[in-house]
Structure 1
Amino acid sequence: MDKVLYVAMSGAKQTMQSQASSANNLANVKTTGFRADLDQLRAMPAFGEGHPTRVFALSERPGYRFDPGTNISTGNDFDFAINGHGWIAVQGDDGNEAYTRRGDLKINANGLLENGAGHLILGNDGPIALPPFDKIDIANDGSISIVPEGAAPNEVAVIDRIKLVLPDNGDLMKNREGLFVRKDGALEVANGAVTVVSGSLEASNVNAIEELTDMISLSRQFELQVKLMQTAEENDKSLERLLQLS
């Protein structure tokens, strides 16, 4: 009976982890440039002495959805979206380079360019700093030009160029911040083939209907596993009563 209980218990635990992954996707359905996590459940044998017949459930994340989200026009000069494939290089909270698709820009208190998540946008020589300006423009190649404060409209100065990269998506993994980094820890070089669309933002690629369907399915699985644990307990009690009578 311990086999049934072990399978049901491990299944319930892993189902809860899958529910957490699906809930995180749903929570980010409106997060700019978000990439959904994939999740799957499978049976695994328990290796070791005395456990050749035991199996347990395992929840794992085999990867992420990399298909682009919909580009939504905002008309905001501070917004831009990747055109097709590619990534924006940013500085994570740990100070290391990472990659995102989030292009809702703003200027922080230090005059540095960052996105809506507070990650500094990287240029040719690190974080991009902007002097006071009257107008800003982001070109298709990621170049940032401004009309300096008080200058004539035709006095345009090119400040920097956003670092755009094109790694193999199979080499990437998501870190705790929700940013992508290379699995081997290496840094990508800027790639001129990546272009952007100014005045637009990329929506999350989470499929809300699909995630809701998965949540319902996982909830039913969890209920079934709990019932199986209850059945195992009832069978144990019945067996105990039989032994007492004998």
Structure 2
Amino acid sequence: MDRMVQTALSSITGLKDLKFDLANNLANANVPGFRRDLPNEGNAGFLSSLNQATARIFPLETGDRIFSSEVGQLQNTGVETDVALLNGAYLFIQPPDGEVALSRRGDFGVDTENRLVDGVGNLVLSDGLQPIVLPPFTAMKFSDNGEVLVHQPGALPGDFTSIGFLGSASPPSNSLTKSLDGKIRNLDGSVPDVDQSGLFAQGVLEGSNVNAIEEMVFNMDMQRQFEINVKLIKQAEEIDKSGTKLMGLPT
């Protein structure tokens, strides 16, 4: 019976980790450019007693944090500071409290120091991995190769000044992972070299690639699995009680 219970408990622990990923995905379903978390690879470990394996088992997570690289739905917003990547490239960002990372988030804005930032305040970096500082401007344009252009006060109509280029790269998806801070980087924690392979569209915003309906169906399926494991534990308890009662019968 101990083996049956430990198997069920191990399954419940694995479901708990899946629930965490599912909750995180649903919480970020409306975040521009968010990449859906996928379950880690798993393994099992066994407790040992006097160098002998026992029925007591516990789940192990192996491998790196992986995510779906599927492109999210594109929405035409018409906002000049909204930018979407039309291919598989990533932008370079500098979080306020972390190392340089990759991102697909394109809801840009300007902070108090006239630097280009995304919707949560991460600095958007240039092809030289430096913050993009904007002069006073009345209009902004982003070309399809990521060039940032502004129309400055007093300039002739249609006369735009180049400020620099959005840094971008297209690393293989299997070479990327999500770090502990939730940001995308190489497996070793570094970022790939800038290759300026991004193809950009202005006035367009990429949504997350989380399908809320699929996540909810997955949630219901996990709930059923949890209930099955609880029933298994209760059944093991009943079998154990029945066995104890039989052992207690007078001979």
**TM-score w.r.t. length of structure 2:** 0.88
In the TM superposition, what is the alpha-carbon distance from 1:201 to its structure 2 partner? 0.6
Distance 2:210 2:132 in 1: 30
Query: Residues 60-79 of structure 1: matches in 2 within 5 Å?
Result: 63-79=66-82
How far does the alpha carbon of each residue in 1:88-142 deviate from its partner, in whole angstroms, 9 at most, with x for none?
0001243411001000001112221111122110012511111221111111111
Change (3 A) 1:204 1:125: closer
The secondary structure found in structure 1 opposite 2:237 is helix
- Paired with 1:80 and 1:139, the residues of 2 have a C-alpha distance of 10
Cα separation, 1, equivalents of 2:229 and 2:149: 59
How far residue 176 of structure 1 moved from its aligned partner, in angstroms, is: 3.1
Query: Conserved in 2, the CA contact under 8 Å of 1:11 and 1:58?
Result: no
**What secondary structure, in the 3-state scheme, does the structure 1 residue paired with 2:227 have?**
helix
Larger deviation: 90-99 or 132-141?
A: 90-99
Superposition pairs of residues 130-209 of structure 1, within 5 angstroms:
130-209=134-213
- Name stretches of at least 5 consecutive residues in structure 2 with no aligned partner: none
- Runs of 4+ with deviation above 4 angstroms: 40-43, 52-62
Post-superposition offset of 1:215? 0.8
Question: Conserved in 1, the CA contact under 8 Å of 2:102 and 2:191?
Answer: no
Residue 222 of structure 1 pairs with residue 226 of structure 2 = yes
Distance change >3 Å, CA 33–CA 135, structure 1 → 2: same
Residue 91 of structure 1 contacts residue 120 of structure 1 at CA under 8 Å; is this kept in 2? yes
TM-superposed deviation, 1:28: 1.9
Once residues 42 and 174 of structure 1 are traced to their aligned partners in structure 2, the CA distance between those partners, rounded to angstroms, is 17
How many matched pairs? 246
Q: Is 1:96 the equivalent of 2:102? A: no
For 1:40 and 1:224, locate their aligned partners in 2 and report how far apart those are by CA, in whole Å: 23
CA-to-aligned-CA distance 1:159-210 (integer Å, 9 cap, x gap): 1211011111111101233320011233322223321111101111112222
**8 Å Cα contact 2:167/2:194 also seen in 1:** yes
Cα displacement string for residues 203-246 of structure 1 (whole angstroms, at most 9, x for unaligned residues) = 11112222222111100000111111122222223333333335
Deviates more, 1:85-94 or 1:150-159: 150-159
Deviation of the 1:39 alpha carbon: 2.1
TM-score by length of 1: 0.90
Distance (whole Å) between structure 1 residues aligned to residue 110 and residue 9 of structure 2: 50
CA distance in 2, matches of 1:215, 1:10: 18
How far apart are the structure 1 equivalents of 2:191 and 2:8?
43
Cα distance in 2 for residues equivalent to 1:165 and 1:154: 30
Pick from 90, 100, 112: which aligns with 1:109?
A: 112
Offset of residue 75 of structure 1: 0.7
Match of 1:19 in 2: 19
**Partner Cα separation in structure 2 for residue 41 and residue 185 of structure 1:** 19
1:87 positional shift: 0.2
Helix, strand or coil: the match of 2:138? strand
Q: Distance in 1 between matches of 2:43 and 2:160?
A: 62
| RMSD of aligned residue pairs (Cα, Å) | 2.3
The residue identity in structure 1 corresponding to 2:85 is: I
2-structure distance, mates of 1:224, 1:57: 18
Give, in whole Å, the separation in 2 of the partners of 1:222 and 1:93: 39
Q: Which residue of 2 aligns with 1:81?
A: 84
